[in-house]
Amino acid sequence: MSDRGCAPGVELLMEYLEGELSAELRSAIADHVAGCARCTAFLESYRATPEILRRATARSLPADLAAELMQAVRGRFGGGAGP
pLDDT, position 2: 45
Domain coordinates in residue numbering, the chain: 6-77
Q: Is the pLDDT of residue 6 over 70?
A: yes
Q: Which band of pLDDT confidence, cut at 50, 70 and 90, is reported for residue 79?
A: low
Query: pTM of this prediction?
Result: 0.54
- Each residue's pLDDT tens digit, 24-38: 999 988 998 899 898
Distance CA 69, CA 72 (A): 5
Q: Which band of pLDDT confidence, cut at 50, 70 and 90, is reported for residue 78?
A: low
pLDDT, position 1: 47
Average pLDDT over residues 2-26: 79
The CATH architecture annotation of domain 6-77 reads Orthogonal Bundle (1.10)
CB environment 45-72: b (16+ within 10 A), e (fewer)? eeeeeeeeeeeeeeeeeeeeeeeeeeee
